[in-house]
């Protein structure tokens, strides 16, 4: 295997840390070329000390100056940059062989799109890229010959369960349905009336996965699964009616594919993101990820339930915007990011997240996803309206 230079977008987040752990285990195969973070410069500096990347990127000039000075004192040759322009450049430059797209939220859209347009191996952990601009992004992947490998555990499982030539069309491959599994989060069995008083700490306590606070809240509302439904639509060219969410509390079956002959092919494993990360980094080969094999005797049972769309209103909203098309998914994603941030700051009750999302969708008209500027414009408009509704407390 030729040694690959990896740009890690979001290196201080949970996916980024797991990616660096895989790199650490295979120093002859992978090199951290650029490490990019938002503002956690202490953690980023420690990563620079260990992995010696050519570049490090942070949010703004002030943080970049602090990090650059610390790197200089430590004798590191790492060049420190800042801003979106640096992210775009280091995701698309000729020296980067692959990009781990793990920046959470809309902030990851431009650098990930740049990587696709540069024909890179794009390891996609940022679902918002496809939620906001699925048509544009997939067009860029096809037009520029990029290799797109899903890192979300569910989409990675679907990718592994589909035939290698699934791009010729799912019906032609005998696929009847994509079964997208969901843990149901921490509130699957909590009385609906009790959810109004849920705290951020409770919402972030996922029963199976260790994740960042934003994605943990999205899992608790099942917005995360709704975004994954939209992501699956674009990754696998699957109509919404072909994508079924299955609540599976154990998080052992990461997703499955149902075929016309009655077969169901699934990928199983422990809930550890290093498995799909290592798969994406090494594909079509396989490498050790540091994850223990699954012990079926210890699992003993696997349970499955239909999702409750009343309890998880955000999941229904995701299906609604997928049917609406255009910039509707971008509007929902933007409103949700604002809503979750407000909830985490104590400005919004837990059930208010779905209510705010629905109000923004009802108030704004979706337009066509004609260009990146159309998508970003819809994103900005939705954020402004969501913030205004929170200030005025004028949502249902």
127 annotated binding-site participant: yes
306 annotated binding-site participant: no
Burial class (CB in 10 A: 0-12, 13-18, 19+), 40: middle
- Owner of token pair 């797991």: 18
* Phi, psi dihedrals of residue 167, rounded to the nearest 5°: -65, -15
206 annotated binding-site participant: yes
DSSP 8-state secondary structure symbol assigned to residue 93: S
Q: 75: alpha, beta or left, given left = phi > 0 and alpha = psi -120 to 50? A: left
With beta carbons less than 8 A apart as the criterion, state whether 157 and 255 touch: yes
208 annotated binding-site participant: no
369 annotated binding-site participant: no
225 annotated binding-site participant: yes
353 annotated binding-site participant: no
358 annotated binding-site participant: no
Alpha-carbon distance of 251 to 247, in angstroms, equals 9
78 annotated binding-site participant: no
41 annotated binding-site participant: no
177 annotated binding-site participant: no
* Phi, psi dihedrals of residue 348, rounded to the nearest 5°: -150, 135
128 annotated binding-site participant: yes
Give the Cα-Cα-Cα angle 368, 105, 192 (nearest 5 degrees).
95
With beta carbons less than 8 A apart as the criterion, state whether 92 and 119 touch: no
39 annotated binding-site participant: no
12 annotated binding-site participant: yes
18 annotated binding-site participant: no
248 annotated binding-site participant: no
224 annotated binding-site participant: yes
Helix (H) or strand (E) holding 58: strand 55-58
Going by the annotation, the residues of the binding site are 12-15, 126-128, 152-154, 183, 206, 212, 219, 224-225, 228
Going by the annotation, the residues of the binding site for 1-deoxy-D-xylulose 5-phosphate are 127, 153-154, 183, 206, 219, 224-225, 228
Going by the annotation, the residues of the binding site for Mn(2+) are 152, 154, 228
Going by the annotation, the residues of the binding site for NADPH are 12-15, 126, 128, 212
């Amino acid at each position: 295997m030729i040694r690959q230079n990896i740009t890690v977008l979001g290196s201080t987040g949970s996916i980024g840390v797991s990616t660096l752990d895989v790199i650490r285990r295979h120093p002859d195969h992978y090199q951290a070329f650029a490490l990019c973070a938002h503002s956690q410069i202490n953690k980023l500096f420690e990563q620079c000390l260990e992995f010696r990347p050519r570049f490090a990127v942070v949010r703004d000039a002030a943080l970049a100056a602090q990090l650059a000075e610390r790197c200089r004192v430590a004798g590191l040759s790492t060049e420190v940059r800042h801003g979106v322009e640096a992210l775009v450049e280091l995701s698309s430059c000729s020296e980067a062989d692959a990009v781990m797209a793990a920046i959470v939220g809309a902030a990851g859209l431009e650098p990930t799109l740049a990587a696709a347009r540069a024909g890179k191996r794009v390891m996609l952990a940022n679902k918002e890229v496809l939620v906001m601009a699925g048509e544009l992004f997939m067009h860029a992947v096809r037009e520029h010959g990029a290799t797109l490998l899903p890192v979300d555990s569910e989409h990675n499982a679907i990718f592994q369960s589909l035939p290698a030539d699934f791009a010729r069309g799912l019906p032609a491959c005998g696929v009847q349905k994509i079964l997208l599994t969901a843990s149901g989060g921490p509130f699957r069995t909590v009385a609906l009336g009790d959810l109004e008083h849920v705290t951020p700490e409770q919402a972030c306590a996922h029963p199976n996965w260790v994740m960042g606070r934003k994605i943990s809240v999205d899992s608790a509302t099942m917005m995360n699964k709704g975004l994954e439904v939209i992501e699956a639509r674009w990754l696998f060219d699957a109509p919404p009616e072909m994508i079924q969410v299955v609540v599976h509390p154990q998080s052992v079956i990461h997703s499955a594919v149902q075929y016309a002959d009655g077969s169901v092919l699934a990928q199983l494993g422990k809930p550890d993101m290093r498995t799909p990360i290592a798969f994406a980094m090494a594909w079509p080969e396989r490498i050790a990820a540091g994850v223990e094999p699954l012990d079926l005797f210890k699992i003993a049972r696997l349970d499955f339930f239909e999702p409750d769309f009343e309890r998880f209103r955000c999941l229904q909203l995701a299906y609604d915007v997928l049917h609406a098309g255009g910039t509707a998914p971008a509007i929902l994603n933007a409103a949700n990011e604002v809503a979750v941030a407000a909830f985490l700051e104590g400005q919004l009750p837990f059930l208010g997240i779905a209510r705010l999302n629905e109000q923004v969708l009802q108030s704004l008209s979706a337009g066509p996803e004609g260009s990146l500027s159309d998508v970003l414009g819809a994103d900005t408009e939705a954020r402004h309206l969501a913030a205004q509704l929170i200030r005025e407390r004028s949502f249902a």
